[in-house]
Amino acid sequence: MKTIIILLAIAIFMISIVGAATPLKVKDVRDKYEKNLLSIKGVTGVSSDEKANEIIVYIENLDAKKNVPNVLDGVQVKFRETGKIEALRSAPVTRYSRVQRQRPVFGGISVGSIYTTAGTLGLVTYDNYILSNSHILALNGINFVDIGTPILQPGPYDGGINPRDKIGVLYKYIFIDFNNNTANNNYADAAIATLDTSIGGLQGKVLNNKNNGFYTINGTINVKVNDFVRKSGRTTGVTTNGQVVDTLATVNVSYGGADYAIFKNQIVVYGRGFSAGGDSGSAVDENGKFAGLLFAGSTYYTIVNNATYVINGLGITI
């Protein structure tokens, strides 16, 4: 009888284990709540930290915290205040001018289509295309312009005039699904233009701050959290104080007014002054390896498209 009771107890214990609910993994909790979180006013992005067992919620300001639970399905929520994240269109140059007419062209200088203001020419690729953002080369507001649209250097905001300053035409862009909170296919704000043979470009060369020399970007790299990265932009020049804090963030980016786009798997870089308006399109690198394309940001945070999505989406060589 005693043996039967022991066996029965073991059986009940095993049933209780099998029947117990399996705790959700952090990624599962993020996937479950991400769309709802992004619909909350003031939430600028969502990510997760598997090692710390935390959901990361990026917010414009601390007031937004009151609308977000501190715990989701038993997983702690960590907040990061970003300010408003916006596509970084042109702003006054604050260091030294990169807005002059340059021939041949190279990375780190003003560029834009006839329909935009001005952003940054990230670099001339090794297959001789001009690389920058879609909102610099391929958008008029949130509407994509025609392939073949003239590209100017410097951009119109900096005095570029068509046809005098035309350096090429729009060749290809990665489509962006705007104003759709359920969009799952936005990974990069990136476009390329052909380069007129009469203009010429310095492939892989990016303007440095020191003595107006250059550094070279060749090859790619997958950056990790805590890595420091560099960029050369039309507005703030070369900055190296950007520290990667996230590589898989989903981010809500404002494109002016009520227009926005949700981007998946974005690199988030922390560093005051790392970027500013007009730096959109800058090539971000680590030790000369292309990490991604800068396209948005706020006072302290910069958002970067992963190099893989840019290269594969456009079919270019870096």
Q: For 38-82, write each residue's pLDDT tens digit.
A: 889 889 989 998 888 899 999 888 888 888 988 888 899 989 988
**Global pTM exceeds 0.75:** yes
Domain residue ranges of the chain, discontinuous segments joined by +: 22-81, 86-314
Beta-carbon count within 10 A of 82 CB: 23
Please choose, from the candidates 78, 58, 85, 95, the residue with its C-alpha nearest in 3D space to the C-alpha of residue 210: 95
Q: Is residue 8 over pLDDT 60?
A: no
Residue 25 has a pLDDT of 86
Give the CATH number of domain 86-314. 2.40.10.120
Q: Is residue 1 over pLDDT 80?
A: no
Apex 131 CA angle, 235 and 294, nearest 5: 50
Residue 65 has a pLDDT of 84
Determine the Cα–Cα distance for residues 113 and 118; give it in Å rounded to an integer.
Answer: 8
Determine the Cα–Cα distance for residues 304 and 244; give it in Å rounded to an integer.
Answer: 10
pLDDT digits (tens, 9 = 90+) for 226-252: 999 999 999 999 999 999 999 999 999
Do the beta carbons of residue 49 and residue 56 sit within 8 Å? yes
Cis peptide bond upstream of 104, omega within 30? yes
